[in-house]
Amino acid sequence: MDTSFFLAWIKEAASAVQAERDHLTQLDAAIGDADHGANLDRGFAAVRQTLADTPPQTPGGVLVQAGSALIRKVGGASGPLYGTAFRQMGRALGDAPEITPADLVTALEAAQEGVQKLGGAAEGDKTLVDAFAPAVRALAQAVRDGAKLEDALETATAAAQEGAQATVPLQARKGRASYLGPRSVGHEDPGAASTALIFAALRRAAGQA
């Protein structure tokens, strides 16, 4: 995976967020404040802009620059959280020009650690971690088993989607939805839903490579 692979990922993620903008906002209206889709869409638009204006030369550079733009533009909790995820990934990749599947796993593990440290959420708190963590675990396992990258990412995407769906019966313990207490049960967490979109975008980027 080279720089253009990661640029393709970001582009796919931005398109997916744009296409699902209203759906994400609806999920957020149920248990949050009805702005998740709009905020992420604005953030990814800014990411595409900065990547077009000053194209980074390495995979790590793409991700750090994308993360910084998300932190600068999104606001709310999702800006710092997704921004930190991309920045930690980018930092973990350093300035390597070519990334192996094992590197990708390490980078995603660093991203997950960064998100959990910042937000303080564990699995089961009904946050994006509920999609992120199983996806990273599934990817790590598939890569260890020697799966093809596309197949490994297919598995990871499925795990993210299942993880997002599995937030429906949970009661939120972090973020704005936690104020609803038991009334947060019965709704999919919007952050978990957007995380599943971002993993699906990664899978599509691999299909193009």
- Residue 47 sits in the site that holds another protein (CB under 8 A): no
Q: Which is nearer to another protein, 75 or 96 (CB)?
A: 75
Instruction: Specify the residue, 42 or 203, whose C-beta has the smaller distance to another protein.
Output: 42
> Distance between CA atoms of 64 and 172, rounded to whole angstroms?
30
From candidates 71, 156, 170, 196, binder to another protein by CB under 8 A: 71
Q: How far is CA 102 from CA 17, 107, 148, 202, in A?
A: 27, 9, 12, 15
Binding of another protein by 39 (CB under 8 A):
yes
Q: Where are the alpha helices (DSSP H) in the chain?
A: 3-19, 21-31, 36-53, 59-73, 78-93, 101-119, 129-144, 149-165, 190-208
Q: Which is nearer to another protein, 11 or 187 (CB)?
A: 187
Examine residue 124 and tell whether it contacts another protein (CB under 8 A): no
Give 158 or 173: the residue with its C-beta nearer to another protein. Answer: 173
CB 45 within 8 A of CB 21: no
Footprint on this chain of another protein (rule: CB under 8 A) = 25, 29, 31-35, 38-39, 42, 71-81, 118-119, 171-176, 178-181, 183
